[in-house]
């Protein structure tokens, strides 16, 4: 007999994990048109907001290690979306900035958030409920990243 705390139905992590996977799956058709993956889309969101950042700042914003972000950025540079350059003031820092192609992609991606919101067909949750859930998840993330 399995202890109650070891049943899948009693895990907090599973619904968060499953919901994340299902939501990310909704992004795939839109991101395929752009030729990028979901993690690359997250990097682009950060760069569209800030245009140029050190690798460490991007990693921090995405709650990832720099050794995870660096290969991702190298692949995105190969795609022509961004440039990686040494900081002229501190050679230990690598600055990431958008290329023209990366900037143009922003316009192409502007409809994605609304398309995702429109594609969530859930009669038991409205937009206000989703924003409330987002806020609760942000609070949970904050607890784990302190």
pLDDT digits (tens, 9 = 90+) for 1-23: 889 999 999 999 999 999 999 99
* pTM for the whole structure: 0.91
The proportion of the chain whose per-residue pLDDT surpasses 90, expressed as a percent, equals 81
Which pLDDT does position 141 carry in this prediction? 94
Query: In this model, does residue 102 exceed pLDDT 90?
Result: yes
Q: What is the mean pLDDT of residues 73-91?
A: 94
Query: In this model, does residue 122 exceed pLDDT 80?
Result: no
Distances (CA, A) of 138 to 27, 115, 142, 143, 145: 20, 22, 6, 9, 10
- Asked if 13 contacts 19 with a C-beta cutoff of 8 angstroms, the reply is no
Which pLDDT does position 36 carry in this prediction? 98
Q: In the block, which residue shows the tokens 């190298």?
A: 74
CA angle 53, 59, 61 (to 5 degrees): 80
Structural domains of the chain sorted by starting position, each given as residue range(s) with its CATH number in brackets: 11-106 (1.10.10.10)
At 62, is the secondary structure helix, strand, or coil?
Answer: coil
DSSP symbol at 8 = G
């Amino acid at each position: 007999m399995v202890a109650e705390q070891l049943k899948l139905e009693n895990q907090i992590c599973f619904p968060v994990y499953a919901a994340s996977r299902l939501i990310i799956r909704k992004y795939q058709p839109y991101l395929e048109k752009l030729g990028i993956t979901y993690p690359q889309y997250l990097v682009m969101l950060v760069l569209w907001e800030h245009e140029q950042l050190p690798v460490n700042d991007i990693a921090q914003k995405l709650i990832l290690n720099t050794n995870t972000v660096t290969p991702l950025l190298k692949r995105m540079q190969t795609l022509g979306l961004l440039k990686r350059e040494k900081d002229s003031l501190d050679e230990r820092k690598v600055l990431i900035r958008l290329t023209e192609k990366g900037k143009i992609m922003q316009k192409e991606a502007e409809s994605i958030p609304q398309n995702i919101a429109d594609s969530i067909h859930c009669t038991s949750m409205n937009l206000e409920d989703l924003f409330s859930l987002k806020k609760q998840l942000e609070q949970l993330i904050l607890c784990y990243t302190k």
